[in-house]
Chain A
Amino acid sequence: MLVQDIRYALRSLLRAPGFTVVALITLALGIGGTTAIFSIVDGVLLRPLPYSDPGRILRINRIGANGGLDSFSAADYRDLKKAATSFAAIAGYRSDIVDMTGRGEPVRINGMQTTAAFFDVFDAAPLLGRTYHEATDKPGANLAVINETVWKQQFGSNPAVIGTQVRLNGTPTEIIGVVPEFLRHPQKSDVWMLSPYDIPTSPFGMGDIDGSRDVHYFNVVARIARGRPLIEGQQQLKSIGDQIARDHQGNAGSTFGGEPLASSMVANVRTAMFVLLGAVGFVLLIACANVAGLLIARGAARRRELAVRTALGAGRGRLMRQLLTESVVLALVGGAPGMLVATWTQQLLISLAPENLPRLADVTLDWRIAFFAVVATIVVGILFGITPALQSSRPELNADLKDGGRTGTARTGLRNVMVVAQVALALVLLIGAGLMLTSFSRLRSVDPGFRVTEVVTVELMLPLARFNDEQQRNFYMSVLDRLQANPVTANSAMLFPFPFGGANAQASLDVIGQPDRPPEQQVSAELNSISPGYLKASGIRLLRGRDFDANDGPKSPAAALISESAIKEFGGKDPIGQQLDMGDPITIVGIVSDARRRSLDAEPRPALYLPYTQFVLPYMGVVVRSDRGAAAVASAVKTAVAQIDPDLPIGDVKTMEQIIEESTGEPRFRSFLIASFAVLALLLAAVGVYGVISFTVTQRVPEIGVRLALGASPRQVFTQVIGQGLKLAATGVVLGLVAAAAATTLVRGLLFNTSATDPVVYGSLAALLLAMAALACYVPARRAMRVDPMTALRSE
């Protein structure tokens, strides 16, 4: 019987090509779009990490007195390792840029220096060789594990790579294993190096760091012991953190916390992802309402057929089954091109997605997604089929057999409901998109406080193994001298860190002479290392005092500039001339304008600028103000570096515009997606309005004929038809406005300087939707105007 129903369903679809094509396109877009977005949400949020018992892997955070998350210090980490009994493994790691030499051309790759237990936490089986472990490998063994891509690209997939010696940041190191590509957590790495100590080495040098609790510079991951519940591990972390805070004044108010790694990686994008899934779900619902509307119209045309079937003995259940079979067959037929749409959309989304979207590499189309698509398709089939089926399966036999379904207010009524629903849903999406775009445009128009145009940045990281503090300082000073002597790069300076790059250093603002503050009231400042000329190159204004100059050398008295927003920390006194306690006293010599450092949406925080000769780090970069373009600047920097150290590659070259662009990648991506869905929803809603008005005009031809015959002007008929469509759209708009006001509270957290109930956005998009509805009514209204009364009445 089912086979027969399916055969009839396919045949009836073939016999109504117009309906079928419109329905299939609508469904393919709806199912395809939803599947593609689901595949992204699945990869980013839902898919478990590819390790055994991934739920037992935690990221351990140090939670500061002010509630902020912080990295670990050496002493805290050691205390944690000693006291934690609920964990099978705890490992520290620090990301690093690694220069791999000793095999011809030096290669710069992303690396991670870890303690020995790293692969006890991430227990992926290696493709070749082995990984290092706490039980077997001791710090200082100079071992490294590389990933599959590096093995293929740099070693030509040669199995003899195991046992090979390479120099990693100048240190001779033995490659002991190759791990598969999927090992890219907590972040992507090309090489993992066993630290020479029981903690990762510090970029600040290990001398002062070894027993310090003040310098926080590395991250910690752990695996909960088998049989121990997550909550027990989390409670133990807290109690250890609390104990350390009691024992050590510097840790007062802080504690430790643990969060499953998978959720901690995506915490920042979770809301946005679910909003996107919700948005595409709306598109799918609109598509369903659209197809349901088409089916209801078709059901009206099929009333005679259904009445005949009933007269021949078909019960209501039987008719429902047949109608639902048709819907599901239609959905499945639409689902096939839907999978194609999903594949293309997913590829497009991945290419458009910001690089910093976590777990993007885990996004794939596999059986999970196929299963989702099939289930979604069947659910969609039932969803759009159920209302028309319920309605059509109860024919009014006597009347339907007589007039074959030419009348039927109730049926038009239900179709009207579908149109109102579509318009309302579309408006919610449009308003969501409007708010996102407004927010994004306001974000992009934020003045970061520094020059964005004609500024090029070049990273110049130094391998610690070859460059001590003195060598680092000399290197950077020599490079800067050469660059400033070159007309292309005359206006250049050194800087750490680049804005919006993720790297940052913090220092507590302890003004000498002011009473100590309790831990929760302490203010930290963003620490920057700059060379003379940085203010000029970056467009940051010197408000008072003096800029750094050549006299601020390594042996000169320690000097600092503060930013405008740090002034309030000086208790109403003039900051210039006052001193900060940073181990040694540092004298404030100038005040500069505020600049945003972390992101465009974060208000400028107090900032402290130190001369690069006094606070040198191996992660400096060059900032060049030049109108000669990035390529010319990169070439000049490359030449300058090569003149000093021919083995040293330069790092990433980016214009400041690119940096800003990348920093706003995530909001741009979600705004673009929601706007795309909203446009699609708008079109679908317009098709829905067009469909119902066109259908109504066809049904009302005789009535229109009578009206015209009785003296109505074509203009009156036109106005009446447009009015009918606009009445439906207006009802949808009112419902949509109410629904949007409720729904947009969900996106409030994603908006920047934009109210979730912005009246301009609401008003303009409601007007846009009404205009679109009027446009959709125009064609059927014109058709109604041209009805020939004689023909219409004759057909009656």
Chain B
Amino acid sequence: MIRLQNIEKSYRHGLSQTFVLRRVNAEIKQGDFVSIMGPSGAGKSTLLHILGMHDSAWTGEYWLHDDPIHQLSAKDRMRLQKQHIGFVFQSYHLLDNLTVYENIDLPLSYRDVKKAEREGMVADILDRFNIVGKKDLFPNQLSGGQQQLVAIARAVVAKPSLILADEPTGNLHSDQGKEIMELFRRLNDAGTTIVQVTHSKENASYGKRVINLKDGWIVDEN
């Protein structure tokens, strides 16, 4: 599904150059559940944002399915991102002035899905995530765990084949974290590929593979 070849990212400071990622080569198969681990500053989140096409200032080759992302225009990348990828953030990043329903509806509206169809899809997700009763609440009326639940619902509503999660349980206490990880496992079991950045070995254990990064290099892969 994903093939990375010699991915590098660096910043220039005058004459010097600081590398954030060095010669990253990796392959992620359809249905995989990969955890990216490593100390702070290892380049985990940077790699995730490159996979999510939020970042375009890098070198190397990135293939998603059979599309060469490294050769595509910003517009085509955006099209593929909308088609394949859902994103979950550590700080949930729900929009404060939208209700739960509207937050979940948002990715569909950006994909120009017709209103009637959207209503059906959002209703289905609300039902699946058991949050129908909260659909008219605003994010500040929810607990952290509930907010992350909504954020995941928002990430999967457009039926992406790949979910990228950046420390999805980082702001949650352990029980809530477990619930969220169980949810990811169920999504993975249903066929969704998941790539998560985590510091927690326990969370990594929900996945099938771990990629360890240090100073921008892949130091270990199992």
A313 touches B98 (CB 8 A): no
**Shortest distance from the beta carbon of B163 to any chain A beta carbon, whole Å:** 12
Q: A1-B109, A313-B110, A314-B110 are in contact. Are A401 and B93 (CB under 8 A)?
A: yes
Chain B residues proximal to chain A, CB less than 8 Å: 45-46, 49, 52, 54-55, 75, 78, 81-82, 87, 89, 91, 93-98, 102, 106-107, 109-111, 154, 158
A-B contact pairs, 22 of them (CB 8 A): A15-B97, A304-B93, A307-B93, A308-B89, A308-B94, A308-B95, A309-B95, A311-B54, A311-B87, A311-B93, A312-B87, A313-B107, A313-B110, A315-B75, A315-B110, A397-B55, A398-B45, A398-B46, A398-B49, A398-B54, A398-B55, A402-B45
B81 touches A313 (CB 8 A): yes
Interface of A is mostly: helix
Please give 18 more A-B residue pairs, beta carbons under 8 A apart, in addition to A311-B87, A311-B89.
A8-B102, A11-B97, A15-B96, A305-B96, A308-B89, A308-B93, A308-B94, A309-B110, A310-B54, A311-B52, A311-B54, A312-B107, A312-B110, A313-B158, A398-B45, A398-B46, A401-B91, A401-B93
Bitwise interface map of A from 1 to 36 toward B, beta carbon under 8 Å scored 1, else 0 = 100100010011001000000000000000000000
Bitwise interface map of A from 401 to 426 toward B, beta carbon under 8 Å scored 1, else 0 = 11000000000000000000000000
Chain A residues proximal to chain B, CB less than 8 Å: 1, 4, 8, 11-12, 15, 304-305, 307-315, 318, 397-398, 401-402
**Shortest distance from the beta carbon of B39 to any chain A beta carbon, whole Å:** 17
- Sort A-B residue pairs by CB-CB distance and give the 3 closest, nearest first: A313-B110, A397-B54, A308-B93
B93 touches A8 (CB 8 A): no
Cα–Cα distance between A628 and B203 once the two chains are bound (Å): 101
Please give, as numbers and ranges, the residues of chain B lying within 8 Å of A315 by CB-CB distance: 75, 78, 110
Please give, as numbers and ranges, the residues of chain A lying within 8 Å of B102 by CB-CB distance: 8
Cα–Cα distance between A1 and B46 once the two chains are bound (Å): 33
Cα–Cα distance between A279 and B82 once the two chains are bound (Å): 49
Please give, as numbers and ranges, the residues of chain B lying within 8 Å of A401 by CB-CB distance: 89, 91, 93
B49 touches A397 (CB 8 A): yes
A12 touches B55 (CB 8 A): no
Please give, as numbers and ranges, the residues of chain B lying within 8 Å of A310 by CB-CB distance: 54
Cα–Cα distance between A15 and B139 once the two chains are bound (Å): 14
A313 touches B89 (CB 8 A): no
Please give, as numbers and ranges, the residues of chain B lying within 8 Å of A397 by CB-CB distance: 49, 54-55
Please give, as numbers and ranges, the residues of chain A lying within 8 Å of B89 by CB-CB distance: 308, 311, 401
Please give, as numbers and ranges, the residues of chain A lying within 8 Å of B75 by CB-CB distance: 315
Please give, as numbers and ranges, the residues of chain A lying within 8 Å of B52 by CB-CB distance: 311
Cα–Cα distance between A449 and B98 once the two chains are bound (Å): 74
Q: A312-B106, A313-B111, A398-B54 are in contact. Are A8 and B98 (CB under 8 A)?
A: yes
**Shortest distance from the beta carbon of A166 to any chain B beta carbon, whole Å:** 73
Please give, as numbers and ranges, the residues of chain A lying within 8 Å of B111 by CB-CB distance: 313
Cα–Cα distance between A401 and B46 once the two chains are bound (Å): 12
Cα–Cα distance between A311 and B85 once the two chains are bound (Å): 10
Please give, as numbers and ranges, the residues of chain B lying within 8 Å of A398 by CB-CB distance: 45-46, 49, 54-55
Cα–Cα distance between A398 and B57 once the two chains are bound (Å): 12
**Shortest distance from the beta carbon of B94 to any chain A beta carbon, whole Å:** 8
| B107 to A, closest residue via Cβ | A312
Please give, as numbers and ranges, the residues of chain B lying within 8 Å of A313 by CB-CB distance: 78, 81-82, 107, 110-111, 158
Cα–Cα distance between A717 and B96 once the two chains are bound (Å): 34
**Shortest distance from the beta carbon of A234 to any chain B beta carbon, whole Å:** 60
| A304 to B, closest residue via Cβ | B93
**Shortest distance from the beta carbon of B117 to any chain A beta carbon, whole Å:** 14
Please give, as numbers and ranges, the residues of chain B lying within 8 Å of A309 by CB-CB distance: 95, 106, 110
- Contact partner of A4 among B45, B49, B87, B109, CB < 8 A? B109
Cα–Cα distance between A8 and B101 once the two chains are bound (Å): 13
Cα–Cα distance between A766 and B222 once the two chains are bound (Å): 71
Please give, as numbers and ranges, the residues of chain B lying within 8 Å of A311 by CB-CB distance: 52, 54, 87, 89, 93
| B78 to A, closest residue via Cβ | A315
Please give, as numbers and ranges, the residues of chain B lying within 8 Å of A314 by CB-CB distance: 110
A318 touches B98 (CB 8 A): no
**Shortest distance from the beta carbon of B106 to any chain A beta carbon, whole Å:** 6
Cα–Cα distance between A308 and B109 once the two chains are bound (Å): 14
A305 touches B95 (CB 8 A): yes
Please give, as numbers and ranges, the residues of chain A lying within 8 Å of B98 by CB-CB distance: 8
**Shortest distance from the beta carbon of B166 to any chain A beta carbon, whole Å:** 8
Please give, as numbers and ranges, the residues of chain A lying within 8 Å of B54 by CB-CB distance: 310-311, 397-398
Cα–Cα distance between A530 and B94 once the two chains are bound (Å): 88
Cα–Cα distance between A306 and B181 once the two chains are bound (Å): 27
Please give, as numbers and ranges, the residues of chain B lying within 8 Å of A12 by CB-CB distance: 97
| A16 to B, closest residue via Cβ | B97
**Shortest distance from the beta carbon of B103 to any chain A beta carbon, whole Å:** 9
**Shortest distance from the beta carbon of B45 to any chain A beta carbon, whole Å:** 7
| A313 to B, closest residue via Cβ | B110
**Shortest distance from the beta carbon of A4 to any chain B beta carbon, whole Å:** 7
**Shortest distance from the beta carbon of A400 to any chain B beta carbon, whole Å:** 10
Please give, as numbers and ranges, the residues of chain A lying within 8 Å of B97 by CB-CB distance: 8, 11-12, 15
Please give, as numbers and ranges, the residues of chain A lying within 8 Å of B106 by CB-CB distance: 309, 312
Please give, as numbers and ranges, the residues of chain B lying within 8 Å of A305 by CB-CB distance: 95-96
Cα–Cα distance between A1 and B109 once the two chains are bound (Å): 8
**Shortest distance from the beta carbon of A596 to any chain B beta carbon, whole Å:** 66
**Shortest distance from the beta carbon of A7 to any chain B beta carbon, whole Å:** 9
Cα–Cα distance between A313 and B78 once the two chains are bound (Å): 7
